Amino acid sequence: MADWLETLDRLAHERAEAGLTRQLRPRTAGDTVIDLAGNDYLGLSGHPRVIAAARQALETFGLGATGSRLVRGSTDAHAALEDALAGWLGLDAALVFSSGYLANLAVVRALSAVCDLVVSDAYNHASLIDGCKISGLPVRVAPHNDPAAVAAVLDAHPGRAAVVTESVFSVDGDLAPLAELHRVTSARGALLIVDDAHALGLLGDSGAGGVAAAGLAGEPDVIVTATLSKSLGGAGGVVAGPAALVRHLVDTGRSFIYDTAPPPAVAAGVLAAVEVARAADDRRAVLFRRGARLAATLHRPVPAAGVLSVPAPGPEAAVTWAADCRDNGVAVGCFRPPSTPDGSSRLRLTVNAGVPEEAFARALQVILECAP
């Protein structure tokens, strides 16, 4: 065997010894597992209006976008989705990408044109971390959810900085102190970038997200990113903020310019999901009620949105716990290093308002019975 393949085999063995092997588990059309692992918080991925809109666009435009947004990939479905997202979020303009990951890469890199430092929360998602890396800017990692530490970094920096955080953090589901962070950044001329992926559709008036819930919608120094694959049940990502930022991304954003556009059927389906989500107070009520029930049952703090994290003794115990749940018909998330910023392992449970009540109760029972 070639030396480089032997190296890969050795690294795979080391990951297996540390309990860090990952596996793909394809779903089938007849999958009956109770889903507390996916991010379809409002149960909209199979909503009749969403499916009908996607089907109509599929018949009109075909399967793929056939090119990048700037070549042939943009359709009226993409434009309508961007208008709807900007209006929902209370921001000037929005730009849709084919994933939330690419949206985060684009926006952090784009701000290298106006900033000379990035301050990143220690628990930020990998896409934000990678965006910081490719920005070419110096990066300071601030302690998790610590506005005072951010202020200290900014006070020691004479130029303009961008502060990057999530609103609801993807691993533990805790809420960032956005209003306090904005007081820190605005007083020092810094920009605030907020990944609203796990709050969009859930927090704020009509589910407009964590930034809106914090009273920051429309602030000229606040930029919002999100994925369209969680509460909206689709795929893609968005950057929203001042119109000048969107123009800059269209002209210079490499992960926008050189990537094939999201399929028109997906854009049309997500647009329908936005319309449903804005009026889905009933689904949000179910989600928060179930989140409180999960927390009480597992003796954890009530989640800020739809993510609840449960510590496991170690990576192998987390893997076994998740596998036992799966064998008993319940899908749960299993987070281990390097996905966990603090090096510890846990189950991540995501509340899905679309799961029938009886199935949700059954899932709770299984999680308890399979606990290490």
Q: Please give the positions annotated as active site.
A: 39, 125, 166, 170, 195, 198, 230
Cα 338 to Cα 360: distance, rounded to the nearest angstrom: 29
Going by the DSSP 8-state scheme, the letter that residue 174 receives in this structure is P
Using CB atoms within 10 A of its CB, is residue 285 exposed (0-12), middle (13-18) or buried (19+)? Answer: exposed
Q: Which two tokens stand for residue 271?
A: 């647009």
The answer to whether residues 295 and 302 touch, using CB atoms and an 8 Å cutoff, is yes
End-to-end alpha carbon distance in the chain? 40
Contacts (Cβ under 8 Å, ≥6 apart) of 203: 167, 168, 209, 210, 212, 213, 304, 305
Helix (H) or strand (E) holding 227: strand 222-227
Cα 137 to Cα 115: distance, rounded to the nearest angstrom: 8
Q: What letter represents residue 296's amino acid?
A: A
Sequence length of the chain is 372
Residue 104 burial (CB count, 10 A): 30
Cα 366 to Cα 346: distance, rounded to the nearest angstrom: 16
Laid out side by side, the sheet with 93-97 consists of 93-97, 237-241, 222-227, 191-195, 161-166, 117-121, 139-142
Q: Which two tokens stand for residue 201?
A: 């559709």
Cα 85 to Cα 180: distance, rounded to the nearest angstrom: 25
For 322-325, the CB contacts below 8 A with 24+ separation are: 322/347, 324/370, 325/366, 325/367, 325/370
Q: Which two tokens stand for residue 358?
A: 């009886």
